[in-house]
Amino acid sequence: MSELMPLIESLDFSTRRVLLLGDLVLDRLVFGTTRRISREAPIPVVQYVGESSAPGGAANAAANLASLGAKVSVAGFIGDDERGEELLNRLQDLGVETQLVLRVEGRPTTVKTRVLAGGAGTVRQQVLRLDHEPKGRPSAEASKALAVSVREAASDYHALVLSDYGYGAVDPALAVGLSTKPVIVDSRMQLGSFGAAHTLKPNLSELEHVAGRDLLSDEEIARAAQDLRQRSGAEAVLVTLGRHGMLLAEASGLKQVPVFGDDEVADVTGAGDSVLAAYALSIASGFQRFDAARVATIAGAVAVGHHGTHAVKLGELQQALLHEC
């Protein structure tokens, strides 16, 4: 990794413009302390201390793109509700352009609430997650309006990021329509459908879902990654493997991307969004895929060192790499 230091020291993403289309989520963190087990059920009683909120899902990827210095526009759906307004305010505070976000009447903003609690003097741990999700997919009219606005805006950007959490904002056909731009895709359920993508970025469980089986060895993972690349028509597949780093599958072969850091993990929430943002920005800046993946591993290592979603800054990448060297 030391050979990346001169490159990262000179990085300036401020001239890069990225359009992100995805499923927008508001992440809420509720903090508390635990002193006893409930007499009503074998669960901890959490004494409320406070709460905070941050962009989540695709909105967290947008927050990471912005915190790394890029000019970012986000497209997706929110509800015509208080939580949607809160999410827009959080994004705008970070400098993210939100003109392409569509409010959908009668459809709630997706909210994921995580309760973090612990005893006095101990590190708080996540004890509960409560999801407030829309029922069903957006209407055909809303989906068409979003797709049209993205297609019309795409020529103004250096790269397009598709962040698909399965709530209906991402249409795989957009990857084909925007094939002149690098299209980086992170998708929970539709990985095999993004045929014109520059890179598909599954984690292991998502790759297993596409393969239709458990992948129990390095050889099986490698074979499944190449199978996905060939069947989808994507140029590359980048599989994130947690503490085992990443695997990059290209037509020229396979490359193992080593993990960065010392395996200290506070919270993996949103780390995949940080990896996605750093990789996409590196690609938009002209990096080769392998070097972009190595930058992304640093972003992931920084993200998991924080509780809750964390928008990684370029200075944190530089500091982390300097510490490692």
pLDDT, tens only, 214-268: 999 999 999 999 999 999 999 999 999 988 899 999 999 999 998 887 555 555 6
Sheet holding 71-79, edge to edge: 97-104, 71-79, 17-22, 159-164, 183-187, 199-200, 236-240, 246-250, 253-257
Query: What's the confidence (pLDDT) of residue 195?
Result: 80
Length of the chain as a residue count? 325
By annotation, the residues acting in catalysis are 273
Q: Which two tokens stand for residue 221?
A: 């993972």
Residue extents of the structural domains in the chain: 2-26+56-108+134-324
Fold observed for domain 2-26+56-108+134-324: UDP-N-acetylmuramoyl-L-alanine:D-glutamate ligase (3.40.1190)
Amino acid 136 reads: G
Q: Name the DSSP class of 68.
A: T
Q: How confident is the model at residue 125 (pLDDT cuts 50, 70, 90)?
A: confident
Mean pLDDT within 35-64: 93
pLDDT over threshold 90, residue 6? no
239 contacts 199 by C-beta, under 8 angstroms: no
Mean pLDDT within 2-21: 80
Query: What's the confidence (pLDDT) of residue 124?
Result: 85
Burial class (CB in 10 A: 0-12, 13-18, 19+), 237: buried
Mean pLDDT within 33-51: 92
* Whole-number Å distance between alpha carbons of 91 and 78: 12
Amino acid 137 reads: R
* Whole-number Å distance between alpha carbons of 230 and 251: 8
Nearest alpha carbon to residue 25 among 105, 101, 106: 101
The b/e string for 77-116 (b: 16+ C-beta within 10 A; e otherwise) is: bbbebebbebbbebbeebebbbebbbebeebbbbbbbbbb
77 contacts 101 by C-beta, under 8 angstroms: yes
131 contacts 154 by C-beta, under 8 angstroms: no
